[in-house]
Chains A and B, each alone.
Chain A
Amino acid sequence: MKQSEELIPHLFRTEYRKLTAVLTKIFGLEHIEIAEDISSDTFLMASETWGIKGLPENPVAWLYTVAKNKAKDYLKRNTLFDQKIIPHIQNNISEIQEFEIDLSDQNITDCQLQMMFAVCHPSISTEAQISLSLRVLCGFGIDEIANAFLTNKEVINKRLFRAKEKLRTEQVKIELPNPSEIENRLEIVLRTLYLLFNEGYYSSGKDVTLRKDVCLEAMRLTNLLLENKATNKPIVNALISLMCFHSSRFEARINPNGETILYQDQNEDLWNEELIIQGEYFLNQAYVGDKLSKYHLEAGIAYWHTLKQDTKEKWENILQLYNKLLQLEYSPIAALNRTYALSKANGKNEAIIEAEKLNLVSNHLYHALLGNLYTGIENSKAIFHFQAALKLTKSKADKLVMAKNIHDLESA
């Protein structure tokens, strides 16, 4: 009994999405709910049956057999089959009896990859792409997705419903885009995976395990792209490299309360050496083309951050990478980080002049940066900015840090 209670949630996370991807491929994206229902029913049956009879010898095979039978039953009894699904079934299978549902590893991988492109279709919003990815590609529960987005179940349900409607009306197919389109479509998929990863990495949600799971799922999906020749592009290697470097600090950057520990205060013994090495490997793979994406630059920045020692070389490289990144795509956080790197590479005085120009007065990080830069140069201004940051930030951990900075300066 206990065994199945532990195993089922685990299998749900790994197998639900596989069943759903393969079945959706068969039924067509417009009938994705049927695929989801059959997958859910399979797990419901597993928890009932395994609870009474104990675990089957091969639980995954058991799930696949049950799902196949349920799918066939569904097709047999539902008139929908003749009218709607038959035209969609590939290879023109006419007899249900002969109808095979292919749950081989290869087909599962292919279906998931194709599903990724369908879910990241340009016709639906980025938010919807991420929610749908978490649901369909990662097998997350609605409340988990709501938690990750810091919202409630109704919002997520509505969002998923609308996204599926849209995919239906747009008649999106589960397939890899044409070679001519793949580059553009891949960019959208990568952006979604990047945001999915950031959702876990930078979220202020308290559930640390959930946040880590979101990151790992984003990495797993990115790996799916790497495993396929058509999608194993340098830019994908750059993204996974960035994810490896970031996640190497996962244990070190969050305290048990889910609060962020600043880079300079992290215990480097907790950095994951293996992930750093993997990140370096993928970064090398990423530099085979001549196209430099923001993932390349961000991976480069993350690489230099894995070197704990504060050298001139390190900060000069980080500064130049930020200079390039900002030319590709502006963001306030990149602008602030660039200015911090500037202070390390060119000195505080130059950085103060540049920081004042950013004029991000409603951003607490802007004031935290100026407070930091003015410390030891003009302490009264440093205190002024730390106080502004203290007022603006919502994070408890940030408030503590700002209050400590002010206290230190006042008693100095």
Chain B
Amino acid sequence: MKEFLFVFRNDYRAMHKSSPEEMQAETKRWMDWIGGIAAQNKLVDRGNRLADDGNTVKPGNVITDGPYMEIKESIGGYTLVRAESLEDATEMAKGCPIFQNGGSVEVRAINPL
């Protein structure tokens, strides 16, 4: 088994404001998805969500506010999983609820130092 990082990206600024019911349903979909990975004993670390605000530091002490840079999508969170292969990990990512809101999951193999 190897470890893989799921990076969750979405255009969080463009997302419409959800009603409490929608938010609750959204949370449930995420919990069920993560729970399903954990039930296969393939969850390494559920990771975290990233807050909206942030800075990007560039050469010459240039600081731009926000993590967004030029692209619209930003990283909303990450999770570490265990899988036999990149194919397996990718298969696992297919169930992610983020696709319902137009987001994406980047699947990257971890190369241990």
Docked CA distance A326–B42 (Å): 10
By the criterion CB–CB under 8 Å, are A338 and B40 in contact?
A: no
Interface size on B, residues (CB 8 A): 12
Q: Which residues, 300 to 354 on A, are CB-close (under 8 Å) to B?
A: 316, 319-320, 322-324, 326-327, 330, 334-335, 338-339, 342, 346, 354
Find A357's partner among B28, B34, B36 (CB 8 Å cutoff). B36
- Cβ of A93 < 8 Å from any Cβ of B? no
By the criterion CB–CB under 8 Å, are B35 and A338 in contact?
A: yes
Majority SS at the chain A contact face: helix
By the criterion CB–CB under 8 Å, are B28 and A339 in contact?
A: no
By the criterion CB–CB under 8 Å, are B40 and A320 in contact?
A: no
By the criterion CB–CB under 8 Å, are A326 and B32 in contact?
A: no
- Cβ of A155 < 8 Å from any Cβ of B? no
By the criterion CB–CB under 8 Å, are A338 and B28 in contact?
A: no
- Cβ of B39 < 8 Å from any Cβ of A? yes
B34 → chain A, closest Cβ, in Å? 7
- Cβ of A358 < 8 Å from any Cβ of B? yes
What does the 1/0 interface line of B40-81 toward A look like (CB < 8 Å)? 110100100000000000000000000000000000000000
By the criterion CB–CB under 8 Å, are B32 and A319 in contact?
A: yes
Q: Chain B residue with minimal CB distance to A328?
A: B38
Docked CA distance A18–B82 (Å): 49
Docked CA distance A323–B38 (Å): 8
Chain B residues within CB distance 8 Å of chain A: 28, 31-32, 34-36, 38-41, 43, 46
Chain A residues within CB distance 8 Å of chain B: 316, 319-320, 322-324, 326-327, 330, 334-335, 338-339, 342, 346, 354, 357-359
Report the 8 A-B pairs with minimum CB-CB distance, sorted nearest first. A323-B35, A326-B38, A335-B39, A330-B41, A323-B31, A327-B38, A338-B39, A354-B36
